[in-house]
Amino acid sequence: MFILSYLLLFASPFVAPQAIWNETSYPNVLEEQTQECKINGTQAPYLTCDPDEILTQTQRFELNDALKDLKNVTTSNGTECSNQGYIGVVLLARKIVNGTTKEAQKMANYFRDNWDFGRCDKGIIILMVTFYQQFYMACQPNVPLSDSDVNEIFEHNKDTLFNGNYFEGLSNVIKESKNKLTHQTGGTMTNRIIHVVRIAHRINRMAIPLTTML
């Protein structure tokens, strides 16, 4: 029995421990931490971070290209901030410290306030925490997406994200954000922090079983 147990132990496949992220341990893709973000192999700028490899490499590259396009199509001639494009980042994580809504909100707000999106404050953070089914959009002051704009984007894509189709859902979030920004239909977002919490609670109430996300 002892020998059998010993053999079974060493025959079992090795399972690497999963990282549990917080706002300071999560890699900063804007500082070109490409290896940690699993985005090395494509051209800068680097705007997608997926350290847990939730998506395939091809999907990460396609999201990165979509975010580059968002920046390019919202850029016009001139050096003033009004001419600068919007810089969106997509950040995926499987697990975060504590796994609470408050912790995920803290992460999104930390990235918005502390990462270097440039002097024009035109950054957009799109955070997806898959194990806890939490989705967040946090915008810097000069991003003209209103609360109703972000609510509409979320409502259009929540079923896709809930079903685990993260690539499709996030691609659509970027596309709809680009459409709203290029048509300048939104106003300034005046209630960012409360809005992020509201989205998180809605997802938590409708979350699919966690066992399907493992």
CA distances (Å), 177 to each of 11, 69, 87, 137, 196, in order? 49, 12, 11, 10, 16
> Is there a domain that residue 7 lies in?
no
User: What was the pLDDT predicted at 25?
Assistant: 96
Q: Let me know if residue 14 belongs to a domain.
A: no
What letter represents residue 119's amino acid?
R
Please state the φ and ψ torsions of residue 155, each to the nearest 5 degrees: -60, -35
Separation between Cα atoms, residue 20 and residue 94, nearest integer Å: 8
Residue for token pair 């000069």: 142
* CA atoms of 195 and 103, how far apart (whole Å): 15
Is residue 10 assigned to a domain?
no
* Tens-digit pLDDT string for the chain (214 aa): 333 334 334 444 444 467 999 999 999 999 988 999 999 888 889 999 999 999 999 999 999 999 999 999 999 887 789 889 999 999 999 999 998 888 888 999 999 999 999 999 999 999 999 999 999 899 999 999 998 999 999 999 999 998 999 999 999 999 999 999 998 633 334 334 333 433 443 443 333 333 333 3
Number of domains in the chain: 1
**Considering the domain boundaries, does residue 8 fall inside one?**
no
Does the residue 170 lie in any domain? yes
Determine, yes or no, domain membership for 1: no
Which residues are CB-contacts of 9 (< 8 A; sequence separation ≥ 6)?
none
Determine, yes or no, domain membership for 5.
no
For residue 107, the domain's CATH number is 3.10.310.50
Domain that holds residue 106: 20-213
Task: Extract the tokens encoding 17.
Answer: 């421990």
> What is the per-residue pLDDT for 44?
87
pLDDT score for 184: 66
